[in-house]
Amino acid sequence: MKLEDLIAGALGAIGGAVLFAFLFPFPAADGGSWVRGEALPGSADIFGWLLAVVAYAGFGFFSLVLAAVDVRTHTLPNGLIAWATLWTVPLLLVAGHFRGDGISALAALLSAGVATVFVFLLWFRMRGVVGGGDLKLIPVAAYAAVWGVAESVWVAGFLVFVLLLLAGVVVLVLVALILGRDQVAAGPLILAGSWITLVVTHMSDL
């Protein structure tokens, strides 16, 4: 990584934490919009919220670092994808426990799995547009996109993410044709789709 990648990552971390805090305000005495089910009381609930803030700060960091690296090199390093996944998913799983997500926590995991299968099919048919690194990035991007949404809107959130992916593929194909390139950076569009889905689903859920 270069210095500019780290600077971009730092900005992404700040942006990710601030955005999450806006979508999920600090837990009020009654839990506010943070609590979904039987959340643990008092300090445990606050601890879960802080874990989620840290998770999305990390996801924001890795989002901009991966995007910068992909634009520059047209590759998504396995190590960075692994760190993004290992940072984001476990922290959000634990935060979901404190939040009282219960069985609804499976929705985000299911979304990640289905999205991965969908992109695998795209990768199998369009390897010049969708790369192996893009495929590996999908699980954490999809998981972070729909984590914590109400059961009534998570399917809609997942569909938003898939539609954004399809739109991204169309954009990539057009860019490749216009520029006459065999490969274009899909990572930034995948990550942008994840963050846009997060905002759209949670704003509709507030």
pTM: 0.88
Q: What average pLDDT does the structure give for the chain?
A: 84
Cβ-based neighbours of 200, under 8 Å, separated by 6 or more: 157, 160
Residues of the chain with pLDDT > 70, as a percent, come to 84
Q: Which of 94-103, 114-123, 153-162 has the lowest mean pLDDT?
A: 94-103
111 vs 175: CA distance, rounded Å: 28
Only one residue has tokens 């969908």, namely 118
Question: Does residue 158 have a pLDDT over 90?
Answer: no
Provide the pLDDT for residue 117.
92
Q: Which of 79-83, 100-104, 167-171, 199-203 has the lowest mean pLDDT?
A: 100-104
In this predicted structure, the answer to whether residue 54 has a pLDDT above a threshold of 60 is yes
Find out whether 88 and 58 touch, Cβ atoms under 8 Å: yes
Q: 3-class SS at 76? A: coil
Question: What count of Cα atoms within 13 Å lies in the side-chain half-sphere of residue 6?
Answer: 3
pLDDT band at 59 (very low <50, low <70, confident <90, very high): very high
- For residue 204, name the pLDDT band (cuts at 50, 70, 90): low
Give me the pLDDT at residue 64, please: 97
Q: Which residues contact 169 (CB under 8 A, 6 or more apart)?
A: 122, 126, 129, 130, 186
* Domain spans of the chain, in order of start: 3-205
